[in-house]
Protein backbone atom coordinates (compact mmCIF):
# COMPACT_ATOMS: atom_id res chain seq x y z
CA UNK A 1 0.00 0.00 0.00
CA UNK A 2 1.14 3.56 -0.73
CA UNK A 3 2.72 5.52 2.09
CA UNK A 4 1.04 8.70 3.28
CA UNK A 5 2.47 11.90 4.74
CA UNK A 6 0.49 14.11 7.11
CA UNK A 7 1.45 17.10 9.25
CA UNK A 8 1.91 16.00 12.87
CA UNK A 9 -0.47 18.60 14.29
CA UNK A 10 -2.94 21.33 13.34
CA UNK A 11 -5.13 23.81 15.15
CA UNK A 12 -8.56 25.06 14.23
CA UNK A 13 -11.01 27.52 15.78
CA UNK A 14 -14.40 26.18 16.74
CA UNK A 15 -16.98 26.83 14.02
CA UNK A 16 -14.38 27.22 11.30
CA UNK A 17 -13.54 24.69 8.62
CA UNK A 18 -10.69 22.31 9.36
CA UNK A 19 -8.68 21.31 6.30
CA UNK A 20 -6.40 18.34 6.86
CA UNK A 21 -3.92 17.60 4.06
CA UNK A 22 -2.44 14.26 3.08
CA UNK A 23 0.22 13.40 0.52
CA UNK A 24 0.19 10.00 -1.15
CA UNK A 25 2.42 10.53 -4.17
CA UNK A 26 3.00 6.80 -4.81
CA UNK A 27 -0.68 5.86 -4.90
CA UNK A 28 -1.61 3.43 -7.63
CA UNK A 29 -4.71 3.33 -9.78
CA UNK A 30 -6.76 0.87 -7.73
CA UNK A 31 -5.96 2.27 -4.30
CA UNK A 32 -8.54 4.13 -2.27
CA UNK A 33 -7.95 7.00 0.13
CA UNK A 34 -9.53 6.44 3.54
CA UNK A 35 -9.81 8.76 6.52
CA UNK A 36 -10.27 7.61 10.08
CA UNK A 37 -10.08 9.46 13.36
CA UNK A 38 -9.34 8.38 16.89
CA UNK A 39 -10.71 10.30 19.81
CA UNK A 40 -8.83 9.95 23.07
CA UNK A 41 -7.67 6.32 22.69
CA UNK A 42 -11.08 5.03 21.62
CA UNK A 43 -11.28 2.70 18.65
CA UNK A 44 -10.72 4.47 15.32
CA UNK A 45 -13.83 5.77 13.62
CA UNK A 46 -14.38 5.71 9.88
CA UNK A 47 -14.97 9.14 8.34
CA UNK A 48 -14.95 8.89 4.57
CA UNK A 49 -13.19 7.31 1.62
CA UNK A 50 -12.77 7.92 -2.11
CA UNK A 51 -11.04 6.71 -5.25
CA UNK A 52 -10.78 9.67 -7.62
CA UNK A 53 -13.92 11.77 -7.26
CA UNK A 54 -14.60 14.16 -4.45
CA UNK A 55 -16.85 12.71 -1.78
CA UNK A 56 -19.13 14.19 0.87
CA UNK A 57 -21.07 12.67 3.71
CA UNK A 58 -22.65 13.92 6.91
CA UNK A 59 -19.31 14.13 8.66
CA UNK A 60 -16.88 15.54 6.12
CA UNK A 61 -15.80 16.16 2.56
CA UNK A 62 -12.88 14.55 0.80
CA UNK A 63 -11.12 16.41 -2.00
CA UNK A 64 -8.72 14.34 -4.11
CA UNK A 65 -6.45 16.10 -6.60
CA UNK A 66 -6.75 15.20 -10.25
CA UNK A 67 -3.40 13.36 -10.23
CA UNK A 68 -4.49 11.60 -7.00
CA UNK A 69 -1.18 12.35 -5.32
CA UNK A 70 -2.74 14.29 -2.49
CA UNK A 71 -6.06 14.82 -0.76
CA UNK A 72 -7.70 17.06 1.81
CA UNK A 73 -10.23 16.14 4.46
CA UNK A 74 -12.57 19.01 5.24
CA UNK A 75 -14.60 19.26 8.43
CA UNK A 76 -16.89 22.15 7.47
CA UNK A 77 -17.76 23.44 10.95
CA UNK A 78 -15.33 22.05 13.48
CA UNK A 79 -16.49 21.55 17.07
CA UNK A 80 -14.55 20.79 20.23
CA UNK A 81 -15.62 17.16 19.86
CA UNK A 82 -13.68 16.96 16.60
CA UNK A 83 -10.41 17.16 18.53
CA UNK A 84 -8.76 13.85 17.64
CA UNK A 85 -5.98 12.15 15.73
CA UNK A 86 -6.86 11.94 12.04
CA UNK A 87 -5.38 9.18 9.92
CA UNK A 88 -5.11 9.27 6.15
CA UNK A 89 -4.72 5.74 4.79
CA UNK A 90 -4.29 4.45 1.28
CA UNK A 91 -5.66 0.99 0.85
CA UNK A 92 -5.67 -1.30 -2.12
CA UNK A 93 -8.35 -3.69 -3.19
CA UNK A 94 -8.03 -7.30 -4.23
CA UNK A 95 -5.70 -9.35 -2.09
CA UNK A 96 -5.13 -6.59 0.44
CA UNK A 97 -8.33 -7.91 2.09
CA UNK A 98 -9.16 -4.55 3.55
CA UNK A 99 -5.96 -4.28 5.58
CA UNK A 100 -5.20 -0.78 6.80
CA UNK A 101 -1.72 0.60 7.41
CA UNK A 102 -1.84 3.39 9.98
CA UNK A 103 0.81 6.13 10.14
CA UNK A 104 1.09 8.57 13.03
CA UNK A 105 -1.70 10.81 11.75
CA UNK A 106 -2.44 14.47 12.42
CA UNK A 107 -3.43 15.65 15.87
CA UNK A 108 -6.22 18.17 15.29
CA UNK A 109 -6.95 20.47 18.18
CA UNK A 110 -10.13 22.51 17.98
CA UNK A 111 -10.08 25.47 20.37
CA UNK A 112 -12.88 27.79 21.48
Partner 1 sequence: NAGVTQTPKFRVLKTGQSMTLLCAQDMNHEYMYWYRQDPGMGLRLIHYSVGEGTTAKGEVPDGYNVSRLKKQNFLLGLESAAPSQTSVYFCASVDSYYNEQFFGPGTRLTVL
Q: CB-hemisphere CA count at 13 Å for 92?
A: 10
Pairing between β-strand 106-111 and β-strand 9-13 as defined by DSSP bridges: parallel
Least spacing, CB of residue 87 vs partner 1, in Å: 7
- Structure letter (DSSP) for residue 10: E
Binding mask 50-79 for partner 1 (x = CB under 8 A): ------------------------------
> Please, are residues 18 and 11 in contact by the beta-carbon 8 Å criterion?
no
Least spacing, CB of residue 104 vs partner 1, in Å: 5
The CA distance from 71 to 55, in Å, is: 11
Stretch that binds partner 1, among 12-20, 22-30, 37-45, 68-76 (CB under 8 A): 37-45
Name the site residues for partner 1 (rule: CB under 8 A): 32, 36, 41-46, 49, 87, 91, 93, 97-105
Amino acid sequence: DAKTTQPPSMDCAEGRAANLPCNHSTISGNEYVYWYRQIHSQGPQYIIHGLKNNETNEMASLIITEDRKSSTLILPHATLRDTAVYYCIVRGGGTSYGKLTFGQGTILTVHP
